[in-house]
Amino acid sequence: MYIIAGEASGDLHGSNLIKELLKLNAQLNIKCWGGNKMQDAGATLVKHYKDLAFMGFVEVIQNLPTILKNIKFCKDDILAFKPDAVILIDYPGFNLRIAKWAKQQGIKVIYYISPQVWAWKENRVKMMMQCIDKMICILPFEKDYYKQKWNWDVEYVGHPLVEVIEQFKISGAGQAEDNNKTIALLPGSRKQEILKKLPIMLSVVKHFSNYQFVVAKAPGLDENFYNELLTPYKNVSAVVNKTYDLLSTAKAALVTSGTATLETALFAVPQVICYKGNSLSYQIAKRLIKIKFIGLVNLIMDKEVVKELIQDELTTQNLLTELTLLLKDKEKQLQVVTDYTNLKNILHKGGNASANTAKSIYAFIYN
């Protein structure tokens, strides 16, 4: 098998998939593009995702020769390896190119973690249907989306984050205290988004002097970058590479949109989703992206479980109102617990998502 992941999250989910595949057949020969976790799980690492991560239009253009060189190298390596199948994990800019090419070579193509075509770039679906032999989804509404809109039967296996977080909890790390007074701030991983959102998040700190606010820092960003933002606040500290420890002890959280909103929900932490981007970019995105909510929790539940403060709505006053509600309103707290429990049940889907995926892939290739 040849598995391709291009980001840290893909490396995590890929590593759990590899472990489950090797449980089914310890003799499997697996090569991968990914990271240390996939390598430690038992695959031979061909290329590290750190050499692949080019984000943003300008950066992609500047690194186009490297990207094209990587694609050619990948194709040559797959041909030399002659795998039973290629398994592509998310990372659509790169992986959809490989999918199209691999199909032309007569290689079985399995896609794990669907590109979010239901949000934008929907025109890619026709090409995906032609070149992907098996699509495996981790969001429950994707199965209906593909079937109802495209008459494409895909498989829903549950969400792999459920097992990742369960394993973390079983390990006993980050046990919350009854008198806990921690509020988590998750402002994102890129400088630009942090500069837009973190100052607004921090503006409510003075109203909650009996709480300790803790910022989850993005690994790799300069220490001075955060110091300038955090120094004026006495009851604010920070952690790096300890987001799960932080969420396991938090009373509430202010979270940038993305996977972090789902992780926060799976830790049962009441949260406010915060999003603010460049004004022009936001107006363009608003016209291109066709979804009711931006938070994964709300998208999955198809209702506003978590308050979303987007663009001009992300203000000190609105944050103050919502955070007070989460900390003081018992009825609101009970509703959040109920919704989060229902969310977890939907995402668990009667078992471990990685094991479900491994069994499905193994049966598809070898039966």
| Domain-wise residue ranges, the chain | 2-158+351-366, 165-348
Highest CATH level, class, for 2-158+351-366: alpha beta
Q: Residue 165 and residue 172: Cα distance in Å, rounded?
A: 11
pLDDT attached to residue 67: 77
pLDDT attached to residue 177: 57
Digit-coded pLDDT (tens) for 193-226: 889 899 999 999 999 999 999 999 988 788 888 9
Residue bearing tokens 């495996």: 136
CATH of domain 165-348: 3.40.50.2000
pLDDT attached to residue 273: 94
In which element (H, E) is residue 111 found? Answer: strand 108-112
Residue 166 has phi, psi (to 5 degrees) of: -60, -40
Digit-coded pLDDT (tens) for 151-179: 999 999 999 999 999 999 988 765 655 56
8 A C-beta contact, residue 310 and residue 279: no
8 A C-beta contact, residue 237 and residue 202: no
Question: Could you say which residues of the chain have pLDDT below 70?
Answer: 52-63, 173-179, 277-291, 350
**C-alpha closest to that of 308 among 275, 270, 336:** 275
Q: Residue 5 and residue 38: Cα distance in Å, rounded?
A: 9
Write down the H helix ranges in the chain.
8-24, 36-41, 57-62, 64-81, 92-104, 125-131, 140-150, 160-170, 191-202, 223-230, 243-249, 259-266, 279-288, 296-301, 316-328, 330-348, 353-366
Query: Does 165-348 match 2-158+351-366 at the fold level?
Result: yes
Residue positions counted in the chain: 367
